[in-house]
Amino acid sequence: MAIFVDQNTKVIVQGLTGGQGKYHGLRNQAYGTQVVGGVTPGKGGTDVAIPEGGSIPVFNSVAEAVAATGATASFIAVPPKAASAAILEAAAAGIAFIVCITEGIPAQDEAKVYNTLVRDYPNTRLLGPNCPGIISPGKCNIGITAGEIAQLPTASGPNVGIVSRSGTLTYQALYELKQRGIGVSTCVGIGGDPVPGTNFIDCLREFQADPETHAIIMIGEIGGSAEEEAAEFIKANVTKPMSAYIAGVTAPEGKKMGHAGAITSGGKGTAKGKMDALAAAGVRVGLNPTEAGDLMAEIIKAL
């Protein structure tokens, strides 16, 4: 088991013939992910060669790709201008799980896309935008995570689920667990934008229900109230032990810290508030990523 994606997930890459899409799409394929097709309007009928042999067919539209391959997931690696349309095209073609790594989508577009999905495509889940993607180690890797830093889960466990708002801190969390030999069931990067398609709670709910996940690490950052909402959810619904880290304790007020969503204003969205809320929900909160890893090691040992 894993959450959202596993060895049976068939993935198409929207933008497979572009620089990012090709690089990461082929890396995902090399990891063992079933990358069954690519979509680039006007390049249908061509294919992208796999360095180790074989090739991935390219289609003009997501609908064509789905009809030909039976894909249920899409990896979107297109520029910000084209990303909203790409997400909606995938949803309209019946794709159930969309991963969009694109950074820099205007907030107005993102809000519109989110609400369109909720209304018209309730069975489609969007991960991102501006996220590193998702990896179920040994089974499926969609996005830009370097697969080799993810520790494989063991059949008997205990295994840890990871959910994070930041890309590099997602890698850091994977690395901390690998250093300690702790298996990972699934690692989800939900992204740093103001309106993420998938939030902490969506992932926590899945991890709680996933028999292969025994504990959860959550990595948040300043801005918004997603961590506080997650804390409420944890208090009521999550029985699996958790550790957490929140980045941005020292971030100055009113400045966007790299991520479009990482900004505190009017005393809201601070790291302190988030850490307190999580601690009050029974989550063990580390002051840096290593400490969150150490706390998880303690949790695992006690299981």
Partner 1 sequence: MDLFEYQGKQYFARFDIPVSPGDVAYTVDEAVAAAEMAGYPVVVKAQVQVGGRGKAGGIKLADNADEVRLHAGNIIGMDIKGHLVKRVWVEHASDIKKEYYASYSLDRAAKQHLLMLSAEGGVEIETVAVENPDAIVLLHIDPVDGLSAATARDAAVRAKIDDEAVDGVADMLVKLYRCFTEGDCDLAEINPLILRPDGGVHALDAKVSLDNNAGFRHPEWEEFRATEELDEREQLARTHDLQYIGLDGTVGIIANGAGLAMSTLDVVNQVGGTAANFLDIGGGANADMMAAALGVINFDENVKSIFINIFGGITRGEEVAKGIVEAMGRVELRAPIVIRLDGTNAEEGRAILASAGIPESKLISKPTMLEAARAAVAIANGTN
The residues that touch partner 1, with contacts defined as CB under 8 A, are 80-81, 104-109, 111-112, 114-116, 119, 144-146, 148-149, 164-172, 175, 192, 194-195, 219, 221-226, 229, 245, 247-252, 255-262, 266, 271, 287-290
CA distance 261 to 265: 11
DSSP 21-55: HHHHHHHHHHHT-EEEEEE-TT-TT-EEE-TTS-E
Identity of the residue, 81 or 301, whose beta carbon is nearer to partner 1 in the bound complex = 81
Identity of the residue, 70 or 258, whose beta carbon is nearer to partner 1 in the bound complex = 258
Q: What is the 3-state secondary structure (H, E, C) of 70-93?
A: CCCEEEECCCHHHHHHHHHHHHHC
Catalytic residue, candidates 214, 259, 274, 284:
259
CB of 122 to partner 1, least distance (A): 14
Within 8 A by CB and 6+ apart from 173, the residues are 162, 164, 187, 217, 219, 245, 289, 292, 293
Active site residue 24: no
Contact by Cβ (8 Å): 273, 221 = no
Identity of the residue, 240 or 284, whose beta carbon is nearer to partner 1 in the bound complex = 284
Identity of the residue, 60 or 290, whose beta carbon is nearer to partner 1 in the bound complex = 290
Q: Regarding beta strands 242-247 and 183-189, do their DSSP bridges make them parallel or antiparallel, or are they unpaired?
A: unpaired
CB of 156 to partner 1, least distance (A): 28
User: Strands, DSSP E only, in the chain?
Assistant: 10-14, 34-39, 47-49, 55-59, 73-76, 97-100, 125-127, 133-136, 140-143, 159-164, 183-189, 215-221, 242-247, 284-286
CB of 107 to partner 1, least distance (A): 5
Identity of the residue, 112 or 180, whose beta carbon is nearer to partner 1 in the bound complex = 112
CB of 152 to partner 1, least distance (A): 17
CB of 233 to partner 1, least distance (A): 13
Residues with catalytic annotation?
A: 259
